[in-house]
Amino acid sequence: MDKYNTFNGKAYRFLSFEGFYKTIENKSLRFTRIDGFNDPLDCSPFLHPEIEWNEVENNYGKQFPDLTVDFVKQKALGSLFVCCFSKEYDTDDSYLMWSHYANSHTQVCFEIDFSINHYLGGPSEVIYPNNLKEYSLNNAENIGLMIVTSKLKQWKYEKEVRLVIDINYRGVKDNIQFVKGDNKHLYSPIDLQLISKVIFGLKSNFENEKKIILMFLERGLQPTFEKMRISPIDLKLESIKYNIDKITSSSQKNSTRNSITIQDV
């Protein structure tokens, strides 16, 4: 692994159908500023080895470190935005990913093969050390990357990789777009051809699946489509190839029906 923890393999982005519609329509990925994560220790300045937090607490009181964390995150790390992926989608650990990040298996995920496409230089692999504080002390030479790519071992099941954008890096702002009225999220353009596979949750809605498939086909794109299910043999999560013929045939029938209606009128 190089100094950036670069991951060269297939990775999967779990998201809602609404989020995926926007990804396709806008040809962009949504990134979140690092102080917007749900884990309070994710990207926490508490991991900064050069700050003696025990002295801060002793000198200024127990509430001061919390206020300092918010300040440091915004000022020192506020230029960093992340888009999260997982290395898996069809394993035992992935069951939790579908539950937590795809609204109880009702949503979707898509694949990008970073061994072929080095989009934004490729993602960095997240490390889950047994002792996060000790790990931070041993990796102080690259503190920014360490803070962004290390998490508590309780999150190890996510097998996460992260695309990271630093908006202070030269030329980056020319290619991104902030969400209107929201400085904690931005969109980075992406070639939709990089999406090599789309996987629907086992409880996803057919109409949502149909809309996604047609959105790709209308743009001349045809990634692999799969559907998750529970295997009746071993009761494990697995994917099966999605039959898009029923989608295309029903779409053609509707198109013909609409054409006849217009002519009759």
- Please list the helix, strand and coil fractions of the chain in percent, rounded to the nearest 5, in that order: 40, 25, 35
pLDDT of residue 256: 41
pLDDT of residue 224: 98
Domain boundaries, the chain: 10-264
Do 10 and 114 meet the contact criterion of CB atoms below 8 Å apart? Answer: yes
pLDDT of residue 79: 87
User: What contacts 70, CB < 8 A, 6 or more positions away?
Assistant: 35
Write the single-letter amino acid at 179: V
The pTM for the full model equals 0.85
Give burial (CB, 10 Å; 0-12/13-18/19+) of 104: exposed
Q: Containing H/E element for 265?
A: none
> What string of pLDDT tens digits covers the 265 residues of the chain?
667 789 999 999 999 999 999 999 999 999 999 877 877 778 766 655 545 555 555 555 555 555 555 666 566 678 889 999 999 999 999 999 999 999 999 999 999 999 999 999 999 999 998 887 777 667 666 667 778 888 889 999 999 999 999 998 877 878 899 888 888 899 999 999 999 999 999 999 999 999 999 999 999 999 999 999 999 999 999 999 999 987 876 666 565 444 333 233 2
What are the C-alpha distances in Å from 181 to residues 124, 128, 185, 186? 29, 34, 10, 11
Question: Count of residues for the chain?
Answer: 265
pLDDT of residue 85: 98
pLDDT of residue 131: 83
- Tokens 């994560």 locate to 37
